[in-house]
């Protein structure tokens, strides 16, 4: 355990993250425009010393106020006959340099203060932050003027003043983000490994808050250029004959009526420079701040993107209340396509429970979420298939119609009730809310109904407990609340995604029993997702086994469990420990499932299968009926080989 663990992204993911950030930046039009403007200005500023310019400070009274494009002067001359073009380029160079210097000084001082305050806390925090508060108590232009007045006019002093007034932005931002990570486990781990405060600050805290520093810099540098120009405009920054953009504007102001170009040209350059810097700064902020990235530019939509190549599947005759036909869901990230769900079909009748079993990452949750277009989008897209609820295609419904189905005719129970319940609302309020979202009932009636529902799912003393907050309940009770919310509107379809995985075995048994009883009561169709064959055999009528995004075997629960036909199912069952059967060695499945972005063209399990032959890898393997209502995606199913399991 040491700090190296803490630098969350490894080098490859970091490169991917950098690529993603760059692509967000590139897709951001305004930032691209800003980058072009800024790049032009920076290139010209860098080249100024080698360009064939007249000396910027050479006074030539004979040639005063020549308008632009006259007498060989591109931008004319000012009131002392100095060449405007030369002064403008040298001035822009100076303004840019001073603005950047001020930004670096403010970033260095402010970030150090903020990180130390956040990291050390207590009296150090109190002292530093009160000092920052004192800085912030003055309007900052006034403060900058005061500082320059005290230090004396001059560009260097103006730079110091601008830097000082910007220190609080960095200090407060960095203190906040340091506080957010200082109690995380990787900091504790670094401390336990014997690292000192300085070493932790440099190797653990700094890399994690660096993006915040960059974001704050990129969004304040424009201001600082403007503020420096402002001080020069007032005569407190650059002193004659040296000129920056601000002082050129200030000197030209007196001639605004006679020779407007003397002030408007530097004004326009300040405008372009600050606009360019700010557009690029905003782009950098959007690219680096994940909250903004998911917010402003790539906000997940309330409905999964659906791009079904084929015309929507005809309703046809449906074999159950829920029928899923060739459903496919993909994720597109960083130029890769991950086929998470690959042509999945099944049907569930009223009162029936279909178990969806498979190892972690096989696509169970994405299948469940796709049914009501709940997959996050971007990056998810449903590329094919139909989901028929009572014969109507759910995926062609409008967002409003979908919202009415979700939690109404079809509802979910999720794995972790702690993260699905609202921490600030009582459980009674949350169940009542589920009711009121779908039924026109009064607050009082909904509360009564909520209490009855809580009673139904065996929350002891429901009337009093309805006032409890989620954190006051045990895990099992929270999951019962989740079930109560899912059942509130008598759903026709109940989708339970590993509802008992977070619970201990005794509570798990109670919750399963409860779900089973309630399913009978409402005769709801249940899709029960689990990776546990024991649980599946308890509650499911039929079982579908999923592997690498496909259903590889489906049949009645006892058929699949006792006579598995697909070698994968067989190996999964062999991995289940059996109580009371003495010591027995597990045969873990060697290898790993194929990556969802590089699925093989043939059977996805072939590389891990003991019975695979060349034919298995040649082309996609379709379903084979091994018995009536028992299908397996295998060219040589175990049954046909005459094998029997003894488990």
DSSP assignment, residue 242? S
Partner in contact with 333, chosen from Mg ion, ligand ADP, none, beta carbon below 5 to 8 Å by kind: ligand ADP
Per-residue contact string for residues 283-322; x = within reach of ligand ADP by CB under 6 A: ----------------------------------------
Rule CB under 6 A: say whether 363 interacts with ligand ADP: yes
Rule CB under 6 A: say whether 597 interacts with ligand ADP: no
Single residue of 63, 193, 203, 376 touching ligand ADP by CB under 6 A: 376
Rule CB under 6 A: say whether 333 interacts with ligand ADP: yes
Total residues contacting ligand ADP by CB under 6 A comes to: 15
CA dihedral 278, 282, 284, 288 (to 10 degrees): 150
Minimum distance from residue 549 beta carbon to ligand ADP (Å): 7
- Contacts of residue 572, defined as CB under 8 A and 6 or more positions apart, other chains included, come to 357, 358, 359, 533, 545, 589
The region of 176-184, 363-371, 435-443, 487-495 touching Mg ion under the rule CB under 5 A is 363-371
The region of 19-27, 359-367, 520-528, 573-581 touching Mg ion under the rule CB under 5 A is 359-367
Single residue of 366, 395, 536, 606 touching ligand ADP by CB under 6 A: 366
Stated as kind and residue range, the H or E segment containing 270 is: helix 261-288
Partner in contact with 379, chosen from ligand ADP, Mg ion, none, beta carbon below 5 to 8 Å by kind: ligand ADP
Rule CB under 6 A: say whether 358 interacts with ligand ADP: yes
* Cα 163 to Cα 449: distance, rounded to the nearest angstrom: 61
Minimum distance from residue 550 beta carbon to ligand ADP (Å): 12
- Contacts of residue 589, defined as CB under 8 A and 6 or more positions apart, other chains included, come to 568, 571, 572, 575, 608
DSSP 69-84: TBTTBSS-B-TT--BH
* Cα 89 to Cα 278: distance, rounded to the nearest angstrom: 20
Minimum distance from residue 546 beta carbon to ligand ADP (Å): 7
Partner in contact with 331, chosen from Mg ion, ligand ADP, none, beta carbon below 5 to 8 Å by kind: ligand ADP
Rule CB under 6 A: say whether 364 interacts with ligand ADP: yes
What are the beta bridge partners of residue 530?
357
Single residue of 220, 365, 411, 550 touching Mg ion by CB under 5 A: 365
Helix, strand or coil, per DSSP, at residue 442: coil
CA atoms within 13 A on the CB side of 238: 27
The phi and psi torsions of 82 (rounded to 5 degrees) equal -80, 150
Rule CB under 6 A: say whether 361 interacts with ligand ADP: yes
Rule CB under 5 A: say whether 377 interacts with Mg ion: no
Rule CB under 5 A: say whether 370 interacts with Mg ion: no
Strand ranges in 585-638 using DSSP code E only, listed in sequence order = 624-627, 630-632
Minimum distance from residue 290 beta carbon to Mg ion (Å): 22
Crossing angle between the packed helical segments 206-233 and 261-288, to the nearest 10 degrees: 170
Rule CB under 6 A: say whether 419 interacts with ligand ADP: no
The region of 288-296, 333-341, 472-480, 537-545 touching ligand ADP under the rule CB under 6 A is 333-341
Which residue intervals of 121-205 are DSSP H helices?
122-136, 140-151, 155-182, 185-192, 197-200
Which residue intervals of 457-504 are DSSP H helices?
462-465, 475-487
| Total count of residues recorded for the chain | 647
Partner in contact with 329, chosen from Mg ion, ligand ADP, none, beta carbon below 5 to 8 Å by kind: none
* Cα 626 to Cα 75: distance, rounded to the nearest angstrom: 87
Cβ proximity to ligand ADP: between 166 and 415 the closer is: 415
* Cα 444 to Cα 447: distance, rounded to the nearest angstrom: 5
Instruction: Give contact residues for Mg ion (rule: CB under 5 A).
Output: 365
């Amino acid at each position: 355990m040491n700090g190296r663990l803490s630098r969350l992204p490894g080098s490859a993911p970091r490169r991917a993250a950098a690529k993603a950030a760059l692509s967000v930046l590139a897709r951001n039009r305004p930032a691209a425009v800003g980058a072009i403007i800024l790049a032009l200005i920076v290139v010209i500023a860098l080249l100024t010393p080698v360009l064939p310019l007249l000396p910027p400070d050479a006074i030539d009274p004979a040639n005063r106020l020549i308008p632009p494009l006259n007498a060989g002067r591109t931008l004319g001359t000012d009131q002392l006959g100095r060449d405007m073009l030369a002064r403008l380029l040298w001035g822009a160079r100076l303004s840019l340099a001073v603005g950047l210097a001020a930004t670096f000084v403010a970033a260095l001082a402010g970030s150090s203060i903020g990180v130390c305050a956040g990291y050390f806390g207590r009296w150090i925090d109190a002292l530093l932050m009160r000092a920052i508060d004192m800085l912030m108590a003055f309007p900052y232009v006034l403060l900058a003027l005061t500082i320059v007045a005290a230090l004396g006019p001059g560009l260097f002093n103006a730079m110091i003043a601008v830097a000082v007034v910007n220190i609080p932005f960095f200090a407060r931002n960095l203190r906040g983000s340091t506080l957010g990570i200082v109690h995380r486990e990787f900091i504790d781990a670094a401390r336990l490994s014997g690292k000192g405060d300085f070493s932790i600050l440099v190797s653990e805290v700094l890399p994690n808050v660096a993006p915040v520093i960059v974001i704050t810099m990129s969004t304040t540098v424009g201001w600082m250029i403007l503020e420096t120009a402002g001080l020069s405009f007032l005569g407190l920054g650059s002193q004659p004959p040296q000129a920056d953009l601000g002082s050129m504007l200030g000197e030209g102001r007196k001639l605004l009526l006679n020779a407007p170009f003397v002030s408007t040209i530097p004004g326009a350059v300040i405008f372009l420079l600050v606009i360019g810097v700010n557009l690029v700064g905003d782009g950098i902020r959007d690219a680096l701040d994940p909250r903004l990235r998911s917010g402003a530019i790539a906000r997940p939509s309330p409905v999964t993107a659906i791009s079904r190549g084929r015309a929507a599947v005809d309703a046809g005759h449906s074999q159950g209340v829920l029928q899923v036909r060739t459903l496919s869901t993909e994720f597109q990230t960083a130029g890769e396509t991950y086929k998470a769900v690959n042509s999945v079909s099944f049907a569930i009748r009223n009162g029936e429970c279909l178990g969806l079993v498979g190892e972690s990452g096989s696509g169970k949750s994405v299948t469940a979420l796709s049914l009501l277009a709940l997959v996050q989008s971007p990056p998810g897209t449903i590329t094919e298939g139909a989901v028929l609820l009572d014969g109507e295609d759910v995926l062609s419904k409008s967002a409003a119609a979908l919202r009415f189905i979700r939690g109404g005719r079809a509802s979910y129970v999720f794995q972790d009730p702690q993260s699905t319940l609202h921490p600030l609302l009582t459980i009674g309020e949350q169940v009542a809310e589920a009711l009121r979202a779908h039924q026109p009932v009064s607050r009082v009636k909904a509360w009564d109904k909520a209490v009855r529902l809580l009673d139904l799912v065996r929350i002891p003393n429901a009337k009093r407990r309805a006032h409890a907050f989620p954190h006051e309940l045990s895990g099992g009770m929270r999951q019962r609340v989740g079930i109560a919310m899912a059942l509130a509107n008598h759903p026709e379809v109940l989708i339970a995604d590993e509802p008992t995985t977070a619970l201990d075995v005794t509570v798990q048994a109670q919750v399963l029993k409860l779900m089973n009883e309630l399913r009978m009561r409402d005769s709801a169709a249940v899709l029960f997702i689990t990776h546990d064959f024991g649980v599946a055999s308890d509650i499911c009528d039929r079982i579908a086994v999923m592997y690498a995004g496909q259903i590889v075997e489906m049949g009645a629960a006892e058929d699949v469990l006792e006579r598995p036909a697909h070698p994968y199912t067989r190996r999964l069952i062999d991995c289940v420990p059996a109580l009371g059967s003495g010591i027995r060695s597990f045969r873990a499945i060697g290898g790993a499932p194929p990556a969802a972005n590089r699925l093989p063209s043939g059977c996805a399990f072939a590389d891990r299968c003991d019975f695979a032959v060349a034919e298995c890898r040649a082309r996609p393997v379709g379903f084979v009926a091994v018995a009536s209502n028992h299908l397996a995606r295998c060219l040589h199913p175990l049954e046909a080989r005459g094998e029997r399991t003894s488990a």
